[in-house]
Structure formats: C-alpha cells, structure tokens
Structure 1
C-alpha cells in the first residue's frame, strides 16, 4: 500500500466495519462516518484526500446544531483535559506536535484565559488544526478569531475540523504504508 491509500480500504467495508475503522476521525462523532458511508463510497474514497472530502462534506452540509455538537466534542487547546491526560490519542499527538505540552506556566495561563474568553463569546471551544503551527501561532490565531462573529467562527471551526480530519487520515495512511 502506498501512503495515498487507506487501510482498510473504505470502499470495501460494510457500514459497521467502516464506522469502527473511521468513526473517530471526527472527535467523538461517529455519525459523520455513518453518513459518509450511507452516501456511498467508491475507490475514489480509498485515499486520505478522497475520504476527507466525503466526510468533510457531511459536516459542512450538516445543520448548525450538528456542527456545534462536533465542535463541542473537541477539547480545549492546552486545556485541563490535556493537563489531566484525558485527550484522545489523536488529540494528544496533535497538541504535542505543536508544542502545547511544553508551555510555560505563563503560556498555560494565557491559553486558559483565551479558552475561557472564547467559550464565553461563542459557546464552544476554540478548534484549530495545529499541525504545522507552534504555540505562538496558535495564540495569535486565538486572538484574531475572537474578533469573528458567531456564524463566521462556526464556519471557521468546521473548516478547521475538516483539516484535522484530513491530517488524521493522512497520518493513518502514512503509518500503514
């Protein structure tokens, strides 16, 4: 298998096996995988890009309430769940890759203040695809996105979640190459 192919092949799985294999790509939201499977998968969906597109369309086309449920399933960046070791394996790897596990006490306090302000304004946690970013870029994005209106920020969070999903699928394909 190449790094451009997922294992197991999504197009060859029944619904139950597909949801078992890919249901956690969207944090605690297996319904995204269920709907993607129900809409039909073919060999185009056996690549990370193809499956990410299909699953991303499910979330993008979902109701605002469904989108908010997926957004709210995400942990705070450098938040209490990370400190307590309660993140999913994917979230732990992603946050550590951005250096969020190496924050100084002052940086942790800043993350906590920004997490609180963000949740107070929008009613959901700040979500960002952190791959390729460091904690400084993430803190800057936090402050910039706090200026958004709620509808714009929900759309931005959905876009970021879809990026996270693609990164997760690419990582799985790489691991199985």
Structure 2
C-alpha cells in the first residue's frame, strides 16, 4: 500500500510545494521543481510517487548537475557538523547515527577518510546513515575507498535517493 503524504501535492500551490519538498534533496530544490513540473492530478500524492518523480528528475539530469547534487552533501562528522552548519535534516540524521558522539580517534579517522575519499573521487562520501552507527559507517567508508569513481558516483546517487526516501517517509508520519 502506498503511504499518502500529509500534505497532498495535488492540493497545494507551487510555493507551498517548494517550501515543503524543496529540501528533500540536500540544497537542491531544482529536483522538487522538476517533480512539480510533472504534476498531473494526484500523481505525486504518495511517498512512492513523489520519490519516483524526484528520482527521475535526478536520473534525467546532466552529469554536472548530478555532481553538484553529490557535492551539496556535507562530510560525515566533518567541519560543518562541528560548526553547526548542517541542515536540520542532516544534523538529525548524523546525530541519529551517533556521529555526534565520536571518540577523538573516530573523529580523526572520519577526517582522514573524508580527505582521502574527496581526493580520490572529487566528491564527498555519501551514505544513508539511518540504520547505521558510526562503526558501520566507518567500515563502509573504508570499503568503498577501494571502488572506482564510476561505481562510487552511482553509489553516491543511490544513497542520496535512499536519504530522500527516508525524508519523504518522515513527512508522511
């Protein structure tokens, strides 16, 4: 059964839609805008349908737009988290995975891995942290450093879609 959204996109104006869904994909409201452009009756009124429309917008985008989407994400346990510069969604997600409780050694390893990953791939490491803890995230981080760029690019996008799905599901509660 499809989960209905609390606010039905078919019943709202574009500015309300953008205010509600524009942040589902980190700092990338163009994705919500593209989904809105495909609105036709009630076709966006379920979590699954809206997520599908947003995912399609990303998949239809050019490589540069996809890279900007990936780069819009913060480093895990990174400087933005320390400064308190994360979006409320990212802050909550990272806290839920225990990234705010890293030991000094874990924090140092995150910094080292963030730097190595960005040097190798040219974008930040992305993982949907829901259901993970800092130990499993560090393990995934270490393992994925062995991948090639094309595989990591696709993995990052798939993780971003997973994050978006979690965020949309949270709105339907």
Question: Structures share a fold, TM > 0.5?
Answer: yes
Secondary structure, in 3 states, of the residue corresponding to 1:46? coil
Distance verdict in 2 for CA 1:42–1:157, change over 3 Å: farther
Unaligned ranges ≥5, structure 2:
none
Is 1:40 aligned with 2:39?
A: yes
**Inter-partner Cα distance in structure 2 for 1:146 and 1:44:** 39
**Inter-partner Cα distance in structure 1 for 2:40 and 2:151:** 30
Question: Residue 6 of structure 2 corresponds to which residue in structure 1?
Answer: 7
Q: Is the 8 A contact 1:60 1:158 kept in 2?
A: no
Deviation (angstroms), 1:51: 1.1
Q: Give the TM-score taking structure 2 as reference length.
A: 0.94
**Inter-partner Cα distance in structure 2 for 1:14 and 1:67:** 27
**Inter-partner Cα distance in structure 2 for 1:125 and 1:42:** 37
- The one of the two structures with greater contact order (alpha-carbon pairs below 8 A, sep at least 6) is 1
Q: Is the 8 A contact 1:75 1:125 kept in 2?
A: yes
Distance verdict in 2 for CA 1:42–1:118, change over 3 Å: farther
Deviation (angstroms), 1:41: 4.4
**Inter-partner Cα distance in structure 2 for 1:12 and 1:149:** 44
**Inter-partner Cα distance in structure 2 for 1:71 and 1:41:** 29
Q: Deviations over 1:79-127 (max 9, x none)?
A: 0111111100000010011010110000000000000000001111111
- 1:3-82 alignment, distance < 5 Å: 4-82=3-81
The two structures, once aligned, show a CA RMSD in angstroms of 1.4
Runs of 4+ in 1 over 6 A off after TM superposition: none
Unaligned ranges ≥5, structure 1:
none
Deviation (angstroms), 1:148: 1.4
Q: Please identify, of 33-42 and 99-108, the stretch whose mean Cα deviation from structure 2 is larger.
A: 33-42
